[in-house]
Structure 1
Amino acid sequence: RFEARGVKVYVNAEAERLEGEDEVTGVHLKSGETIPADVVVTGIGVAPPTDWLKSTRIKLNDAGFIEVDRHFRTSVDWVYAIGDAVAAPLPLQGIVVAVASAGPIPTAVQFLELFKRKIEITREDVEKNTTNDWLAWLE
């Protein structure tokens, strides 16, 4: 997808330093190559710290990630996992966490509808759709 928009992706390249004074003009790689750039986005691989789970009944895949179903349940009853430790990036994680954190059912349903429509939720939206107790928690 990035290449189709004219973005050059460098895989397994190690950045040594950014070039430029007040703004980035390039990236110097450990290979010695300097790549001209206006914007730099970096990503790092994630190795989940799940070695301690190997002696449990929680199932891990070959790469060490926790296997979960679509409800984020692991292979052990009542044990759930989300985030960088799960086997696959699941786009619904944010929705599940947001709805679970939203509070009472009516509030959760309102926020779920906002997330489904991909509308940006502002603090004003939160204030209009939550109780004062929950607002105190936000602050």
Structure 2
Amino acid sequence: MEKTDNSIHSELFNSKEEFLHEYGNLFVEEVINGKQYHIEIPTGENPDPYRIVVAPDGIVGVASFEPLKIWELDTQEEEYKTMLHKLNRIVQENIDSNDIRKLVREFRSGNHTYFTRILPYSQQRSTEVLRCILDEKLKKLE
């Protein structure tokens, strides 16, 4: 990566495969209702207030009013499966937008409110944000 004018220029992620090739060891694969999700694993003692999910249709950061809720999700629970399905639907409907109001969303699933930030492939800013966040998490694993 080269740094110019206070911005980081890096190679874009053009696909899920490219992204997972570089950062796949930070995720666990889950197949839910026949669809592949890659869910971020916790790194460090204090989990972040958001969690990265590689949904079938794109990458998204997920947060909640109850930060631990997003780290305690059980893939065997129906509530969790429903949340992931809703999350992927939101990604699917908004992934091609450049409008931040469509990329930052709020939704309810069960008794919880979740906040999302869709991070589209092939967008410079999304790639920069993901690299910044995940490079720090990789350091924690070393």
Q: Which TM-score applies when normalising by structure 2?
A: 0.23
Between structures 1 and 2, the one with greater strand share:
2
Larger RCO, structure (CA 8 Å, separation 6 or more): 2
